[in-house]
């Protein structure tokens, strides 16, 4: 209540909701009904609004402290509805149009509301002209455009929004150019984009896409092309029509001439995801074992069942295996649109440069007319590198384009991955004139990944450390050294056996050595367990849990991966034998301390840090800390490509872990996890 001396009207009551003193009419139930006025404490009018049975309804006005209008609009059933207009301040202390980003010259800001949902804000000058963000007026609205269009500065178009069914979230947004011609529309259903249409200069639809909830093509699709923009090699084709399912073209697609008559009819078949495609006979090892006639018959059966994507993969494989380029070309012509090189290249680039690139996505792009050689290489890269399918698909790429450097590089790497070093180097020769960088990479990979397994400490002698170090010694007993040697020997024997499975002969110079002499009782069990280690420190005995994992996972490993493991284990084994005082790999009868053992440990630690830092920061941290670069396999670590840097890091870690294990008798295995943290 107010007293007689108050500047407020008699009967005013404070209303926390409106933040002021209220004078309002009420109905017989005591609810606000009719006009409501709200005042500031100094008695100036702040708000005039209206209620019906306690709910805001009808026009309202908000006033600046100076007394001029600040805002004006309408409520419907308690929600803002229609245009709410804000007015620029007239005196110091009045509220601003907006807290920031107000265009120069703006005196009004209008916001359309639809049942409480705000639309786009627009600013207006003193003449009522809507303004762009830089303060310039909108372009003139062409005659004939619907009332209430907005100017979209980004698109430089006028935009109309129409609500068709508010409850169903059904609306349409249409864009018009500066001449008033419709150029695009977007239909929303359930408030989600559902149908997008583009229009030609005559106002006729030239492309229409139906979309699913994720924005992918789903449903009917068509596109008409102007003669100068047609991507097709057949000049008669001016229109394509078909159906998409979750972003993939499926079923029958029509390619029409200017009269709407079919020029070409293609069967795109059913859509497949990665899992279904990977399990198909078209990508299984079984296809490589079938005779040619039976294989072509199996692929024809896939086409008859509309499993065109699977058939495409199988045709690539079989053509690559048999060299039947004519059969491959016929299939591609029958199931792919005839696109020009520019469009085919663009499709392939969009897929191969995207992330992530899926197996099914590559096949979709192939079926959609993308560059065959590039996409065949991408397909091969997503198949098991040791299987026949990847190599056959790459051969198909070279059938289509014999001089395609990426396909030659892919074949070289696939050959290396199955131990065909000679074949990989032959491809490097072919690459020389097309991609000198690719040829050099293959040669370096073959030189490093296929090593000579001699006594490596003999060719990498330990020199004095660059600065004084703490002297340490090997503390593991002879019995444990024997066991560690047998662990490495068992792992190397497994790698050798896996490499032999690729058809590598026993006489191959890079095959890991036969370690059976180190295993008089045969391979030993490789442990995987958790153990408790006791460390004696200045503060007493401390215990810690460590995981020991000496196992090897060989299934599906490439020859390069097997050799990477073998060379890391061989490096650790040879340095272990060196630490025992030996000049070759054998079981020592006694342990003879090395004079430069501490220097070897220090060097191994520095090299491990340097190689991993090369992978992680390109050597920046090492440079800051003064950790020197060093040569590995005839190359400075700083110059290694990532694939070779990973090999160097793996080898350095194994050697360091072995040395750390040797230092303390309480350590149980070089393969315990606390010794392998980088």
Instruction: Report the distance separating Cα 202 and Cα 179, nearest Å.
Output: 12
| Last residue in a domain, options 387, 402, 417 | 402
| Last residue in a domain, options 402, 429, 444 | 402
Q: What is the mean pLDDT of residues 543-547?
A: 91
Q: What is the mean pLDDT of residues 148-158?
A: 89
Instruction: Supply the pLDDT for residue 3.
Output: 59
Please state which of the ranges 267-276, 382-391, 480-489 shows the lowest mean pLDDT.
267-276
User: Is residue 354 assigned to a domain?
Assistant: yes
Instruction: Supply the pLDDT for residue 4.
Output: 55
User: Is residue 173 assigned to a domain?
Assistant: no
Instruction: Supply the pLDDT for residue 18.
Output: 77
pTM for the model stands at 0.79
Residues 386 and 473 in one domain: no
Residues 365 and 508 in one domain: no
| Mean pLDDT, the chain, integer | 93
Instruction: Supply the pLDDT for residue 100.
Output: 87
Residues 351 and 486 in one domain: no
| Contact criterion met (CB below 8 Å) for 400 and 408 | no
State the greatest distance between any 2 C-alpha atoms of the chain, in Å, as a whole number. 114
Q: pLDDT band at 468, cuts 50/70/90? A: confident
Instruction: Supply the pLDDT for residue 467.
Output: 83
Instruction: Report the distance separating Cα 402 and Cα 394, nearest Å.
Output: 11
CB atoms within 10 A of CB 30: 8
User: Is residue 327 assigned to a domain?
Assistant: yes
- Residue 2 reports pLDDT greater than 60: no
Q: What is the mean pLDDT of residues 114-142?
A: 91
**Rounded-to-10 torsion of CA 409, 415, 416, 421:** -110
- Give per-residue pLDDT as tens, 348-378: 999 988 777 889 999 999 999 999 999 999 9
Domain span holding position 521:
456-675
- The structural domain count of the chain equals 2
| Last residue in a domain, options 356, 387, 402 | 402
Burial 258-284 (b: 16+ CB within 10 A, else e): eeeeebbebebbebbeeeebbebbbbb
Say how many CA atoms lie within 13 Å of 132 toward its Cβ: 14
Instruction: Supply the pLDDT for residue 534.
Output: 81
Residues 591 and 664 in one domain: yes
- Residue 442 reports pLDDT greater than 80: yes
Q: What is the mean pLDDT of residues 185-190?
A: 95
- Give per-residue pLDDT as tens, 199-256: 999 999 999 999 999 999 999 999 999 988 899 999 999 999 999 999 999 999 999 9
- Give per-residue pLDDT as tens, 576-592: 999 999 999 999 999 99
Instruction: Supply 458's token pair.
Output: 């003999």
Q: What is the mean pLDDT of residues 33-37?
A: 95
Instruction: Report the distance separating Cα 594 and Cα 370, nearest Å.
Output: 63
Residues 337 and 469 in one domain: no
- Give per-residue pLDDT as tens, 393-410: 999 999 999 999 999 999
User: Is residue 603 assigned to a domain?
Assistant: yes
Could you tell me the strand order of the sheet in which 205-211 lies?
Answer: 150-152, 157-165, 170-176, 182-189, 192-199, 205-211, 217-224, 239-245, 248-256, 262-267
Residues 473 and 395 in one domain: no
User: Is residue 587 assigned to a domain?
Assistant: yes
Instruction: Supply the pLDDT for residue 320.
Output: 96
Residues 362 and 509 in one domain: no
Instruction: Supply the pLDDT for residue 156.
Output: 92
Look at the chain and count its residues: 678
Q: pLDDT band at 430, cuts 50/70/90? A: very high
49: exposed, middle or buried (C-beta count within 10 Å: 0-12, 13-18, 19+)? buried
Instruction: Supply 641's token pair.
Output: 């490509």
User: Is residue 359 assigned to a domain?
Assistant: yes
Residues 595 and 659 in one domain: yes
Instruction: Supply the pLDDT for residue 1.
Output: 54
Residues 385 and 483 in one domain: no
Instruction: Supply the pLDDT for residue 580.
Output: 97
Residues 358 and 465 in one domain: no
User: Is residue 120 assigned to a domain?
Assistant: no
Residues 521 and 667 in one domain: yes
- Residue 533 reports pLDDT greater than 70: yes
Residues 384 and 486 in one domain: no
């Amino acid at each position: 209540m107010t007293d007689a001396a108050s500047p407020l009207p008699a009967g005013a009551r404070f209303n926390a909701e409106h933040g002021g003193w209220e004078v309002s009419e009420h109905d017989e139930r005591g609810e606000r009904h009719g006009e409501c006025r709200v005042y500031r404490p100094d008695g100036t009018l702040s708000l005039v609004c209206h209620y019906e049975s306690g709910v805001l309804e009808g026009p309202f006005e908000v006033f600046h402290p100076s007394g001029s209008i600040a805002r004006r609009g309408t409520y419907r059933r308690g929600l803002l509805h229609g245009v709410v207009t804000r007015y620029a301040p007239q005196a110091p202390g009045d509220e601003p149009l907006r807290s920031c980003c107000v265009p120069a010259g703006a005196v009004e800001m209008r916001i359309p509301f639809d049942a409480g949902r705000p639309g786009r804000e627009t600013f207006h000058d003193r003449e009522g002209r809507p303004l762009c963000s830089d303060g310039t007026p909108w372009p003139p609205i062409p005659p004939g455009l619907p009332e209430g269009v907005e100017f979209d500065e980004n698109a430089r178009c006028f935009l109309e929004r129409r609500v068709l069914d508010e409850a169903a979230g059904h609306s349409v947004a249409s864009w018009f150019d500066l001449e008033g011609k419709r150029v695009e529309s977007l239909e929303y259903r359930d408030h989600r984009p559902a149908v997008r249409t583009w229009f030609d200069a005559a106002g006729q639809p030239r492309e229409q896409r139906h979309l699913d909830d994720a924005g992918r093509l789903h449903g009917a699709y068509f596109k008409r092309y102007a003669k100068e923009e047609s991507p097709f090699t057949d000049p008669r084709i001016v229109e394509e029509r078909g159906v998409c399912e979750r972003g993939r073209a499926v079923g029958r697609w029509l390619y029409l001439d200017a009269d709407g008559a079919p020029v070409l009819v293609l069967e795109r078949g059913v859509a497949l995801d990665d899992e279904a495609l990977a399990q198909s006979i078209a990508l299984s090892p079984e296809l490589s074992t079938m005779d040619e006639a039976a294989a072509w018959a199996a692929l024809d059966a896939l086409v008859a069942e509309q499993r065109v994507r699977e058939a495409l993969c199988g045709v690539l494989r079989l053509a690559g295996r048999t060299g039947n380029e004519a059969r491959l070309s016929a299939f591609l012509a029958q199931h792919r649109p005839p696109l020009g090189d520019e469009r085919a290249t663009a499709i392939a680039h969009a897929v191969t440069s995207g992330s992530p690139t899926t197996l099914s996505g590559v096949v979709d792009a192939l079926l959609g007319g993308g560059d065959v050689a590039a996409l065949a290489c991408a397909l091969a890269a997503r198949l098991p590198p040791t299987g026949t399918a990847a190599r056959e698909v790459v051969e198909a790429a070279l059938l289509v384009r014999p001089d395609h450097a990426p396909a030659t590089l892919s074949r070289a790497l696939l050959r290396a991955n199955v131990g065909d070093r000679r074949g990989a180097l032959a491809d490097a020769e072919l690459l020389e004139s097309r991609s000198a960088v690719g040829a050099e990479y293959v040669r370096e990979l073959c030189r490093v990944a296929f090593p000579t397994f001699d006594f490596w400490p003999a060719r990498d002698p330990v020199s004095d450390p660059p600065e004084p170090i703490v002297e340490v010694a090997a503390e593991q007993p002879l019995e444990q050294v024997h066991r560690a040697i047998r662990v490495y020997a068992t792992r190397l024997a497994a790698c050798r056996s896996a490499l032999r499975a690729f058809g590598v002969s026993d006489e191959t110079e890079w095959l890991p050595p036969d370690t059976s002499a180190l295993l008089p009782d045969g391979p030993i069990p490789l442990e995987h367990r958790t153990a408790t280690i006791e460390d004696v420190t200045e503060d007493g005995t401390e215990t810690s849990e460590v995981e020991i994992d000496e196992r090897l996972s060989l299934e599906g490993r490439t020859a390069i991966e097997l050799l990477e493991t073998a060379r890391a284990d061989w490096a650790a084994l040879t340095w272990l034998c060196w630490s025992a005082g030996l000049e070759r790999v054998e079981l020592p009868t006694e342990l003879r301390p090395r004079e430069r053992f501490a220097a070897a440990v220090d060097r191994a630690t520095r090299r491990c840090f340097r190689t991993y830092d090369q992978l992680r920061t390109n050597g920046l941290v090492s440079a800051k800390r003064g950790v020197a670069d060093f040569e590995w396999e005839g190359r400075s670590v700083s110059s290694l490509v990532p694939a070779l840097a990973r090999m160097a890091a793996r080898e350095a870690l194994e050697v360091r872990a072995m040395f750390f294990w040797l230092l303390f008798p309480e350590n149980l295995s070089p393969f315990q996890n606390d010794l392998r943290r980088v």
